[in-house]
């Protein structure tokens, strides 16, 4: 307990010594954490002498008043005012309020401008021997990028996707050229320009993006379609109200060749946002048609005969099996809907369906089953509906029981040939992956 008064005295002395201002201090930091208080005449004089050595700077005065540093003077160039402020802050170690002004003397201002231009000219003259070397490096990189860009087959084979391969090729070219620009700027000692170049490129990119929004949207949609691969060349699709064979896809449009030989170009953005029906994704495809029979007809007999006729029709697959269903019971007729499957790789859907319809019509007539699109024949009277007169059915056709002649149901490649010819007109623009068969 007797040692406590001595410890208190020592603590008070340490606090006084620690907080007392030193004779050579340049700044005092208050206990409340505010800015330091500056009051050193020697520091003011030292800073003024240092700034007076700058050519073009005159009447320099540095005032350290309280917690504020004020810099005044006259300069013949705006850059010198900023330079003097930076030097004063680094020398004093505190923020400086720069109140220097430009000289109002025209001759002095002219001299400052000439000095500034002269300095810049000297720097450019120093770079002059390096400019040919920088240009040579840049040209060499452009040549390498051009040579690398000609390996289109390599990029398409390595990515497995023509569109993505083309994008990778262009990115590699751009990367090589960008590296060449960086090396050229490093040779010239102007790497600081890279930030300005990138900033300007960003502004230009935003402006171009707004101006060419539709083109960019189609390009991006083409990339996404290339990733998704919803179709391949010569696939039969329906999109945007059009149906045809896929001929090609470029960076802007998807090209279809219709069955009548016309070419349709659909914007990629429309293709991407519109539901697509791909009839060629599965080789097997189902067809259906309706036929009307009289109400007096035995439905079981009509359905069984229809299924047998479909099974015996060339091009109709046994698996999945053909079907015949009653879809409507009308006042004058019964509607039977028939379904059959074909293999599109070897037979033509339209031909098979046409053959099936003809054979079924003949089979029904041979059995005495009346068929009509609008009404039905009733024995003893003629029925008129919508102005159509229906005559009695013809007698059963003589013969050996065969139902109609054989029909050609082979696959029709006419549209495929037209699509292939259209694709060959622009081979470099076709960005679709080839089918497994190489077509």
Domain around 176: 130-211
pLDDT greater than 70 at residue 162: no
Q: Which of 104, 120, 143 marks a domain boundary? A: 104
**54 in the Ramachandran plot: left (φ > 0), alpha (ψ -120 to 50) or beta?**
beta
* Residue 196 sits in the same domain as residue 255: no
Q: Which of 160, 177, 211 marks a domain boundary? A: 211
Domain presence at residue 51: yes
* Residue 240 sits in the same domain as residue 272: yes
**Which two tokens mark 111?**
């001299």
Domain presence at residue 18: no
* Residue 259 sits in the same domain as residue 322: no
* Residue 275 sits in the same domain as residue 313: no
pLDDT greater than 70 at residue 22: no
Q: Is residue 284 a contact partner of residue 341, using CB atoms and an 8 Å limit?
A: yes
Q: What's the DSSP call for residue 396?
A: P
The predicted pLDDT at position 339 comes to 95
Backbone phi, psi, residue 379, to 5°: -55, 135
The domain total for the chain is: 4
Backbone phi, psi, residue 431, to 5°: -110, 20
Q: How confident is the prediction for the chain on average, in pLDDT?
A: 74
| 308-349 per-position pLDDT tens digit | 999 999 999 999 999 999 988 887 888 999 999 999 888 888
Closest-CA residue to 362 (of 306, 297, 300): 306
Indicate the pLDDT class of residue 5, thresholds 50, 70 and 90. very low
* Residue 91 sits in the same domain as residue 178: no
* SS3 call for 83: helix
CATH of the domain at 54: 3.30.300.30
* Residue 308 sits in the same domain as residue 356: yes
pLDDT greater than 90 at residue 304: yes
Beta bridge partners of 358: none
- The rounded distance, in Å, linking the Cα atoms of 233 and 19 is 86
Domain presence at residue 268: yes
Any idea which residue has 């047998």 for tokens? 308
* Residue 65 sits in the same domain as residue 45: yes
pLDDT greater than 90 at residue 149: no
Domain presence at residue 387: no
- Upper half-sphere CA count for residue 429 (Cβ side, 13 Å): 15
pTM listed for this prediction: 0.52
Domain presence at residue 245: yes
Indicate the pLDDT class of residue 427, thresholds 50, 70 and 90. low
* SS3 call for 100: coil
* Residue 157 sits in the same domain as residue 203: yes
- The rounded distance, in Å, linking the Cα atoms of 430 and 422 is 11
- The rounded distance, in Å, linking the Cα atoms of 277 and 246 is 12
Q: Which of 176, 211, 246 marks a domain boundary? A: 211
Q: Exposed, middle or buried by CB within 10 Å (0-12, 13-18, 19+), for 83?
A: middle
* Residue 206 sits in the same domain as residue 143: yes
**Which two tokens mark 17?**
């010594």
* Residue 300 sits in the same domain as residue 264: no
Domain presence at residue 117: no
- The rounded distance, in Å, linking the Cα atoms of 350 and 88 is 90
The H helix count followed by the E strand count for the chain is 13, 16
The predicted pLDDT at position 192 comes to 63
Domain presence at residue 393: no
Domain presence at residue 388: no
* Residue 300 sits in the same domain as residue 369: yes
CATH of the domain at 265: 2.30.30.60
* Residue 140 sits in the same domain as residue 178: yes
DSSP letters spanning 250-287: -SSEEEEE-TTS-EEEEEHHHHHHS--EETTSSSEEEE
């Amino acid at each position: 307990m007797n040692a406590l008064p001595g410890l208190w005295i020592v603590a008070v002395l340490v606090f006084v010594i620690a907080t007392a201002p030193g004779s050579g201090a340049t700044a005092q930091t208050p206990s409340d954490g505010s800015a330091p208080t500056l009051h050193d005449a020697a520091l003011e004089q030292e800073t003024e002498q240092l700034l007076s050595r700058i050519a073009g700077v005159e009447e320099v005065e540095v005032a350290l008043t309280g917690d504020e540093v004020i810099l005044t003077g006259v300069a013949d160039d705006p850059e010198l005012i900023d330079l003097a402020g930076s030097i004063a802050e680094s020398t004093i170690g505190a923020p400086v309020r720069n109140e220097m002004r430009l000289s109002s003397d025209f001759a002095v201002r002219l001299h400052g401008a000439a000095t500034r231009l002269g300095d810049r000219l000297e720097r450019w003259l120093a770079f002059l021997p390096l400019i040919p070397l920088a240009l040579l490096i840049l040209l060499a990189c452009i040549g390498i990028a051009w040579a690398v860009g000609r390996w289109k087959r390599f990029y398409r084979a390595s990515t497995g996707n023509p569109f993505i391969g083309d994008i990778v090729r262009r990115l590699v070219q751009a990367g090589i050229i960008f590296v060449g620009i960086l090396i050229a700027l490093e040779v010239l000692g102007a790497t600081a320009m890279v930030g300005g170049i990138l900033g300007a490129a960003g502004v230009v990119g935003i402006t171009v993006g707004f101006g060419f929004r539709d083109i960019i949207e189609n390009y991006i949609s083409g990339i996404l379609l290339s990733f998704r691969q919803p179709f391949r060349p010569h696939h039969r699709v329906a999109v945007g109200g059009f149906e045809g064979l896929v001929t090609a896809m470029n960076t802007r449009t998807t090209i279809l060749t219709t069955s009548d030989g016309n070419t349709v170009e659909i914007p990629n953005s429309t293709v991407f946002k519109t539901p697509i029906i791909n009839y060629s994704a599965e080789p097997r495809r189902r067809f259906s048609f309706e036929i009307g029979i009289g109400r007096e007809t035995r439905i079981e007999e009509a359905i069984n005969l229809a299924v047998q006729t479909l099974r015996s029709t060339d091009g109709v697959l046994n698996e999945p099996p053909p079907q015949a269903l009653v879809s409507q019971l009308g006042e004058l007729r019964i509607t039977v809907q028939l379904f059959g499957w074909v293999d599109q790789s070897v037979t033509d859907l339209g031909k098979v369906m046409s053959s099936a319809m003809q054979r079924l019509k003949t089979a029904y007539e041979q059995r005495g089953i009346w068929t009509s699109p609008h009404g039905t024949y009733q024995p003893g009277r003629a029925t008129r509906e919508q102005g159509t007169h229906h005559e009695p059915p013809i007698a059963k056709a003589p013969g050996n029981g065969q139902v109609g002649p054989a029909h050609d149901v082979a696959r029709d490649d006419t549209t495929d040939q037209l699509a292939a010819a259209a694709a060959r007109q622009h081979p470099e623009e076709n960005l679709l992956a080839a089918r497994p068969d190489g077509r």
